[in-house]
Amino acid sequence: MTSQWLSAFKVVGIYLLVGVLWILFSDKILEITIEDARLVNRLQTLKGWIYVAVTGGLLFVLINRALEAIENVSRLDPLTMLLRHQLFHDRLEDLVVASTEANSLGLIYLDIDHFSAINNKIGIKNADLLLRDFANALREHSRGSARIARISTDQFAIALPGIASAEVAEAQAQELRRLLRKTGLHFHVEAHCSIGIAIAPMDGKTAKALMAAASNALNTAKKSNRSGIVFFNQEVSRHESERQELLYDLSVAIERKTLLLVYQPQFSTADLSLCGVEVLLRWQHPVHGFISPDIFIPIAEKNMLISKLTAFVIEQSYTELAPMLGKEIHRVSINVSALEFSSPALMKALLLHIESQKNYIQYLQLEITETAAISNLGGSVELVAHLRQKGLRLSLDDFGTGFSSLSMLKDLSVDEIKIDRSFVFNLETQPRTQAIITALVGIANNFQISIVAEGVETQAQRQLLHELGCHELQGYLLAPPKPLDQLCSSIEQVRQVHGALS
């Protein structure tokens, strides 16, 4: 109240000062410069009108500034300078009206988890700075396309026009979580959040309805799972909840090393001698049963768990195969994801894991997909050369599925290429496919590259691949992926059964 009185006194003081100075000096100037009394009277009248105009203009400026300050206080949050609830509602209404099924509007409600604990840990002043910095990060991230509001102490609303799907909204929510965590680290705290998402016009055709939907989704997220993401739409929410549950269970499985490894042998086409094994990862979920790698690998990549998965494969396979290395097994192939292959930091971590396993590097072969290699061919050439200098072999997986398969061989110095199973499947009835494999074998022989055919399932395929000059075979005809305790017996069985057919 004291500051308000002080501001009022300042305004009145300025007004009185201007008035007094005007009266004193204007009268004095008229007395000195003009002797005609009638003219003085006229100028006195004009001087009065000028005074009214000047003071009126002064009052207009002072009142306008005061009203602007009042409006900013009521419509903008003074700490973050983000929109407050009412102004956000008004802006959101226009966006909701413009939204369509094909051009949806996503509304994200974000609540910082355990903010009172953060307050207690770093103090109120630093907590306010954290909120301000996070608001600035939100603004920088949106770059004007979004509408952002602070709707309570630790709660923010972000309206995102042009959302193509729930997956896009979820990806944006994940990015906001990363922004908050990054902001928190500047203040030496782990900052997490719960998020509710509503999508217009599906979840609401007015700003009020959409905000209520996002708020309901946020409340569900806060009650059911801190640091979770919940959609208001039940089907989308159920799907996202299942994905979040799998993500949590996967991180636990990695931590507790409950994932399983299986090994698929690779045999010489000529005499079915063992050439090597490919290591494959399996997850037997305690509730849902077998979870396909096609499901959990993308989840791991999307949530930065892929490096931990690969580290587990390297360490566990070395532990299991160590007694057989250099004896029964001379080559071990491990898959490297496109995300890892394209990230210098992840590849550096991968090499550290490999080098931590004594003498393992001389037996290892890294399998990279053709798509990953051609996405940045120049970088791939340098990386492959570096890995080979370290003593690693390189295999190009799924060969033939990309758009520049043959041309990349002249630049990419790999040790092996694996013909994709889609070529093998119709091999017997596709003369052109046979011609492609024949040409590929010729090129590979000149480059001293080994050719492995994946997905061999029939004796006819095996025989034809042998005639075409393919070097190695891999597939269910010879041996499906097996746990270590069944690997040796599986290899011996191949020698006895299929060797007799040769």
> pLDDT digits over 445-455, tens only?
988 999 999 99
Q: What is the pLDDT of residue 29?
A: 72
pLDDT at 37 over 80: no
Q: Mean pLDDT, to the nearest integer, of 272-294?
A: 93
Asked if residue 1 has pLDDT above 50, the reply is: no
Higher pLDDT, 357 or 72: 357
| pLDDT exceeds 80 at position 463 | yes
**C-alpha distance from residue 196 to each of 1, 95, 210, 215, 286 (Å):** 40, 19, 11, 7, 29
Residue partners of 172: CB distance under 8 A and separation at least 6: 106, 108, 158, 160, 163
Query: What is the maximum alpha-carbon separation in the chain?
Result: 136
436 pLDDT band (50/70/90 cuts)? confident
What is the predicted pLDDT for the residue at 182?
Answer: 93
Would the pTM count as exceeding 0.85? no
**Does the pLDDT value for residue 501 go beyond 60?**
no
pLDDT category of residue 253 using cuts at 50, 70 and 90: very high
pLDDT score recorded for residue 227: 65
Burial class (CB in 10 A: 0-12, 13-18, 19+), 283: buried
Provide the pLDDT for residue 109. Answer: 96
pLDDT of res. 25: 67
Instruction: Read off the pLDDT of each residue in 390-400 and give the average, rounded to a whole number.
Output: 85
Asked if residue 474 lies in contact with residue 450, where contact means CB atoms within 8 angstroms, the answer is: no
Count the neighbouring beta carbons within 10 Å of the beta carbon of residue 229: 26
Asked if pLDDT for residue 291 goes beyond 90, the answer is yes
Q: Residue 108 above 90 pLDDT?
A: yes
Sign of the Cα torsion 336, 338, 339, 345 reads positive
Q: Which of 16-30, 124-138, 174-188 has the lowest mean pLDDT?
A: 16-30
Cα separation, 354 vs 333, in Å, equals: 13
Residues composing the chain: 502
